[in-house]
Amino acid sequence: MSLTAGSQHTCVASAAGSAWCWGRGTEGQLGNTDVRDSSVPVAVVGPSQYVQLDGGRLHTCGVTRLATIQCWGWGHYGQLGNGTTYTLPGATEVASADRYVQVSAGGNHSCAITDAGAVHCWGDNSQGQLGDSTTISRLSPVPTSGDLTFTQVTAGLFHTCAITTAGSLMCWGLNHVGQLGTGDLVAATVPTPVETGETFRAVSAGVSHTCAVSSAGTAYCWGSNEFGELGNGASAEPGFPGSTIPAATLLGYIFENVTAGDRFTCALQSGNTASCWGRGIEGQLGNGQPIIIFVPLPITDGLRVSSIATGYAHGCAIATAGTVHCWGDASRGQTGTPRVSATHQPARVHIPRN
């Protein structure tokens, strides 16, 4: 199964490859050919089977079993990658002859990794987030500059990061609060090394901060820290950097993966447990109470999880039993339950059988 959370919507692909989405749908990001919100999962329309999904601000993309990419939702900046700026509520294939193994949908851009390890990006490029050395937006995939190969890419709101095959981190795009981790506040239009001597196995770009997990399992975060989203026990004034270089989270947990939302972060720990930190006013920390916490805090209910995802103010997880659970802001149906008030701890989402 593949789970993803966009800004106010959530999607999951079953083991059989069918895709289901719920939450905000007014820009077509649910992929069911409708433009309405849905508080219950609706099927993505189309014959494709998906192996991986990723939700952006107002669009969604998925890698199919044929190694193609399909996207749907808001397309004003070309983030659907089909050569147009149309908004489409149904899946449309990205215009490329390459074979892809992973995709990430960001604010108004998307990026993906080919089977040869190249990173291709498309959509809005006003901040250099496509990494092709320009600020020209693209309606179909273009390769990032340089001859590096990568194993993972993550698209944030206006920046992008990726892990090279050697395990090093590269970031590019907007850097006004240090979200590139380069030690300064200078934007970059090409992949730029993150200032660290570590090697990494996972990275996630949020709205204005970034987090990664080292090969040893340490979580590092950098960028904004208004609500403690860096997990280092501190906070920073709005609009100012919390750290311009990777800063380790406190308490020494060993992590497998990490996902950065809007001013909060969640991470999967060894042993199928999970912790969240940062802004939790809407319940997005999943610990049963609306609080702000500056260090990792386990989610409640003893939920054992195999995958976790964060939106702007909600989180979701796949339990080891294969069930999906969500928590946090539910105002657009993004937690997959009939209630519209926030839920402060994980609640099961009932995915239709297929």
3-state helix/strand/coil string of 38-76 = EEEEEECCCCCCEEEEEECCCEEEEEECCCCEEEEECCC
Which CATH number goes with the domain that contains 23?
Answer: 2.130.10.30
Is 196 part of a structural domain of the chain?
Answer: yes
Is 157 part of a structural domain of the chain?
Answer: yes
Residue-range definition of the domain harbouring residue 96? 2-349
Is 328 part of a structural domain of the chain?
Answer: yes
Q: With a cut of 50, which residues of the chain have pLDDT below it?
A: none
What is the three-class DSSP state of 178?
A: coil
pLDDT at 354: 65
User: What is the β-pairing status of strands 169-173 and 159-164?
Assistant: antiparallel
Tokens of 190: 């090409």
**What does the pLDDT look like over 96-112, one tens digit per residue?**
999 999 999 999 999 99
What is the C-alpha to C-alpha distance for residues 311 and 284, in angstroms, rounded to an integer? 9
pLDDT at 302: 80
Closest C-alpha among 192, 114, 134, 184 to residue 160: 192
Tokens of 327: 């928590």
**What does the pLDDT look like over 23-38, one tens digit per residue?**
999 999 999 999 999 9
Tokens of 54: 């990723």
Is 354 part of a structural domain of the chain?
Answer: no
Angle at 126 between CA 56 and CA 73, to 5 degrees: 30
What Å distances lie between residue 306 and 9, 58, 257, 323, CA to CA?
20, 26, 10, 10
Number of domain units in the chain = 1
Is 87 part of a structural domain of the chain?
Answer: yes
- Residues across the chain: 354
For the beta sheet containing 50-55, the strands, ordered from the edge strand earlier in sequence to the opposite edge, are 50-55, 59-64, 69-73, 88-93
Strand partners, 55: 60
pLDDT at 353: 78
Tokens of 299: 């989610």
pLDDT at 270: 87
